[in-house]
Chains A and B, each alone.
Chain A
Amino acid sequence: MIKTIAKPAERKIVGCGECRSTCQSACKTSCTVGNQSCERITREQKIEEQK
């Protein structure tokens, strides 16, 4: 048995640079890109939720 838990969302746009600076998030010692979310996807999700 093997089943998919998660896979990356399809991206309309990549490399837009909208993302926050990695070191601004929480720790300033071991912040990593992987602990961030895409600002664009997050914003679009918020808009969807508000509809």
Chain B
Amino acid sequence: MRRSSSIVTDMIHVFGYKDKNYVYDTGSGSLHECDERTARYLKGEDIALSEEELSEIEALKKEGLLGAPEPSVAPAKPKEIKALCLHVSHDCNFRCAYCFADEGAYHSVREVMSSETAKAAIDFLLRESGQRKVLEVDFFGGEPLMNLGVVKETVYYAKAEAEKRGKKFLFTTTTNGLLLDDETIKFFNEEMENVVLSLDGRKEVHDAVRKTVNGKGSFDAVIGKIKKFVRSRGDKHYYVRGTFTAKNLDFSRDVLFLADEGFDSISMEPVVTEIPELQIREEHLPAIEKEYERLCDEYIKREEEGRYFNFFHFNIDLEGGPCLQKKVSACGAGNEYFSVVPNGDLYPCHQFAGDAAWKMGNVFEGKIDPALRAKFAENSLFTRRKCGDCFAKFICSGGCAANNYHYEGDVNEPYPLTCAMMKKRIECGMHALAERRSRENSHKN
């Protein structure tokens, strides 16, 4: 009998979820379920395991699924651009209190993108995409439906130009839903690979922050339109995407409200703001962690009952997820993904847009600042030094560069509060996966 584990490292993450114990092996990316004795042993506690228990651990070690060394892989540094976020409207018909984009204006004038600029952006992307066949463009704002004509013109132009080159575009639009009408719904269903619809949940929660330009809550104005769109969507992708703030730390109720309203593809994000009454702070973390657990329990229960809905942040695809090279390469902002604002200026992503320090070029000039691009190309999990010992590093890839910059002043400096929420969501996602596997196995037997 051995009384303490010889393989305890930061790379073996042992965690409990209610009465379950899990072991996530960071090196191999494997998830195991174990009993409490084994969990305590793997945490390094002085506990005697039987020969049988030890042999199970040894078998996993031999298979490379436990205590695996950290994989050695170099981040991809692609020279091709694969995606653009087109800010077709730096104007919005909403005045949401927490808007990172200055209620659509991005700290500048309210304006829309011309079709000439949008087409120049498409030409730029096609030119810079090298051998890549599938390209992505998302229409963003402000509110992109305030410039629907340019959205349509851009889609048709991009498709025609792509076809000449044997390429294909996948389009996404993010909208608040206010201007959705039958014609737009038809266009979206024909042309948009994905549509992201902003809706925060319960009416009182939504209306407290998402107001129209006349200061009224927008829930009643959008809910019917968004429902109509989703009903028409068939099996095509969409997300109803909400934001939670310090005012609704009980956000699981908002996610479940959305599920009860018939939406089966939902995302709910912590707000990014410095507004004191809305900002998520460290003292909120225990409540938020409990809320993720509440949500996870209900998510599993509904799946068991045949009422599954997809919650974006519980999607942890350990088997068919991205390859290791992708996982260490971070999001690609400023290197393979850029934002284009109405005058054609390029930024690393939408969250840097309008900040002159981060301007990287212009689609009409067709050049990207080589020094800034090199800086972003270098960004990877390995440039985020604080991530070195974190179990979640190959899942979160060092987090969002913009989030890091806005909170910590450095794209490579992860914001601890974001990390803590991320880790909790990952644990919930792993527990949900384990419960799903357990159900599948019991159905087989």
Contact = CB atoms under 8 A, between A and B. Distances in A.
A6 B31 contact: yes
A17 to B, nearest CB: 6
B312 interface: yes
Q: State the majority secondary structure of interface residues on B.
A: mixed
A1 B42 CA distance: 12
Given A4-B60, A15-B76, A29-B269, A24 B323 contact: no
B327 A1 contact: no
Interface string A1-42: 111111111010011111111111111111111111110011
A38 B329 CA distance: 14
The size class of the interface chain A forms with chain B is 35 or more
A37 B317 contact: yes
Interface string B305-336: 00000001101111111111111011111001
B349 A23 contact: yes
Contacts, number: 187
Interface size class on chain B is 35 or more
A45 interface: yes
B56 A1 contact: yes
A1 B136 contact: no
Contacts of B272: 29
Contact of A41 (B83, B320, B327): B320
A28 B337 CA distance: 12
Interface in B238-260: 239, 241, 243
A23 B31 CA distance: 26
A33 B393 CA distance: 10
Contact of B437 (A5, A35, A41): A5
Contact of B426 (A6, A17, A24, A34): A34
Given A1-B56, A26-B267, A35-B315, A42 B320 contact: yes
Interface in B13-33: 22-23, 28-33
A32 B319 contact: no
A27 B269 contact: yes
B241 A15 contact: no
Nearest to A6: B318
Interface in B386-444: 392, 394-397, 399-400, 403, 418, 422, 426, 430, 433-434, 437
A2 B319 contact: no
Interface in B51-104: 53, 56-57, 60, 65-66, 76, 78, 80, 82-83, 85, 100
B4 interface: no
B361 interface: no
A35 B170 CA distance: 19
B350 interface: yes
B325 A15 contact: yes
A24 B326 contact: no
B366 interface: no
B332 A8 contact: no
Contacts of B396: 32-34
B174 interface: yes
Contacts of B323: 11, 14-16, 38
B213 interface: no
A17 B132 contact: yes
A2 B56 CA distance: 7
B35 interface: yes
A1 B394 contact: no
B270 A30 contact: yes
Nearest to A33: B397
Interface of B: 22-23, 28-35, 38, 53, 56-57, 60, 65-66, 76, 78, 80, 82-83, 85, 100, 132, 134, 136, 138, 140, 170, 172, 174, 194, 196, 239, 241, 243, 267, 269-270, 272, 312-313, 315-327, 329-333, 336-337, 349-351, 392, 394-397, 399-400, 403, 418, 422, 426, 430, 433-434, 437
20 contacts: A2-B33, A2-B34, A2-B60, A2-B66, A3-B34, A4-B30, A7-B30, A14-B325, A17-B82, A21-B332, A22-B337, A23-B331, A23-B349, A24-B136, A28-B174, A32-B422, A33-B330, A34-B397, A36-B321, A36-B322
Given A5-B33, A22-B337, 12 more contacts: A2-B56, A5-B437, A6-B434, A7-B28, A18-B134, A23-B349, A25-B239, A29-B272, A32-B395, A32-B396, A36-B321, A38-B317
